[in-house]
Structure 1
């Protein structure tokens, strides 16, 4: 156990040191959600002012509604960026060294997932602080704080596990942009990050409504949104935790040297 914890700390510490040296990474991670908050939300500030829907007890401005979705955006993009880092490390040989450590492979991947979640949560916290300075303050502190932390940590782990799973199938950096376009944007726009489900159903976009209902990112955002206001998120926590377990299990299987990535690289023309 001591060896395993030392390995966990070493991998997390390595990722933190890499992040500290990349000065523009935090800024680039925050520019996108802050632009949505400062520009997009400003034009629709009172879109939901006439409607009261759970978890809100009164009408709210649009920037308050969109803020949990933007926190989810930070977690989503960093989780996906972690898969790019995995592909890069794998091509440069660093990930191969980590995977040959005298530890269970799933534990090495779990340590990498924890490092991704720590970075995601740090960036999300920075976004919350800057959003508060811009006038968008969420009720994060109080009796509901442990529930908010649980929701945020679970969402960060789930999205990191999804990025880990994608890294199994991305064998060249050149394929990363296309893969992300088919994952990030559909997950974000077909969710409740920008508009509630009832708006989708009311507008007649039934197929988008169905996709949003089964989108795990929707449930991550809803769990966080309901936790902020101390409300029961229904089935969303179970869907998030189930998706986390499934994605991590598939990623661990994919990195198995006999069945997953290791077997793929043995084929003629496989990536090195």
Structure 2
């Protein structure tokens, strides 16, 4: 594999996903409606119920919609990462993954290209959400006027967002190894999405969970990778040190991607792909790899 060939394949896969997304206007609308409903309805209703005390990374009192905005950005990234798993399952059933995985390229590079395509789409949808949120009055530090956050924080914010998008995309990639049919997708995704989102700091800080006595929820939220993705983004927006969150996000990304690459290898993987019927040719390869 030459470097030029590898990047040509990467661009081809990313461009394909971008072109497919450009023809799916409803996908962008549906990706924005969910977090905007939380921002415009839920946050407005609970603005005066949840008092946000001064705590890191904030230097002053903030409104509830400002607090949950990073979590809603994470929601956009999470749902698109999980939707990429659906696309992988669909491509496998249609035979496209069989063609891709039998290309004269390392299997991990093809999966990395799919992961990059997922991250690009996730970030585009997250940017669209940030713009609409700003239009309806929720000012994040890098967008608001008179904010203490300055332009040099932007690279940190971008790094946090890209890492979170890649981590959640890698999780979706791993799940696509085990979701055998499209009919099983909804149940599997709900089992993953809602616990990850609600048992995190997307809607409430960790100290409130501990203060309320919800000990088991607090412990789950502490070790939830999505919590650390949201916290990294939240701290980056205010130019603060996110602690161990970046390392946890990057470690989760590496583990999920390695496990997905292993699972998509019919010679060394978990065996789920090689045992599927109806997806490949005689003998289970190369069709078993799809």
Question: TM-score scaled by structure 1?
Answer: 0.97
User: Secondary structure in 1 aligned to 2:35?
Assistant: helix
Shift of 1:259: 2.6
Counterpart contact for 1:30–1:127, Cα < 8 Å: yes
Counterpart secondary structure, 2:104: coil
TM-superposed deviation, 1:181: 1.1
Q: In structure 2, do the counterparts of structure 1 residues 265 and 165 end up closer, same or farther at CA, with 3 Å as the change threshold?
A: closer
Report 1:161-200 matches (<5 A).
161-200=170-209
Moved more, 225-234 or 139-148: 139-148
Deviation at 1:257, TM superposition (A): 1.9
For residues 221 and 5 of structure 1, do their structure 2 counterparts lie closer, same or farther at Cα, with a shift above 3 Å needed?
same
**What residue is the counterpart of 2:11 in the other structure?**
9
Instruction: Report the alpha carbon displacement of residue 44 of structure 1 after superposing the two structures with TM.
Output: 1.5
Counterpart of 1:237?
246
The separation in 1 between residues aligned to 2:142 and 2:82, in whole angstroms, is 26
Aligned to 1:222: 231
8 Å contact kept, 1:47–1:61: no
Aligned-pair CA distance for 1:90: 0.3
Give yes or no for contact 2:201–2:221 (8 Å, CA) kept in 1.
yes
Give the one of 258, 262, 269 matched to 2:267. Answer: 258
Instruction: Give a deviation string over 1:102-149, Cα, whole Å, max 9, x none.
Output: 000000000000000000000000000000000001012622100000
* 10 and 200 in structure 1: CA distance in 2 versus 1, 3 angstrom threshold: same
What CA RMSD, in Å, does the superposition of the two structures yield over aligned residues?
A: 1.2
Q: Distance in 2 between matches of 1:266 and 1:87?
A: 15
Which range moves more in the overlay, 234-243 or 138-147? 138-147
- Please list every run of 5 or more consecutive structure 2 residues that lacks an aligned counterpart in the other structure: 144-150, 280-290
Rounded to whole Å, the distance in 1 between the matches of 2:62 and 2:48 is 7
**Residue of structure 2 equivalent to 1:118:** 120
Shift of 1:21: 0.7
Q: 1:270, CA displacement in angstroms?
A: 3.3
1:79 corresponding residue in structure 2? 81
The two structures have a TM-score, normalised by structure 2, of 0.91
Equivalent-residue separation in structure 2 for 1:233 and 1:61 (angstroms): 21
Which ranges of structure 1 fall in alignment gaps of 5 or more residues?
A: none
Match of 1:34 among 6, 29, 36: 36
Q: Distance in 1 between matches of 2:250 and 2:70?
A: 18
Q: SS at the partner of 1:182?
A: helix
Give me the whole-angstrom Cα distance separating, in 2, the residues matched to 1:10 and 1:157. Answer: 19
SS in 1 for 2:272: helix
> How much has 1:46 moved relative to structure 2?
3.5
Aligned residues: 270
Deviation at 1:31?
0.4
> Could you tell me which of 206, 212, 227 is aligned with 2:215?
206
Q: Is the 8 A contact 2:264 2:273 kept in 1?
A: no
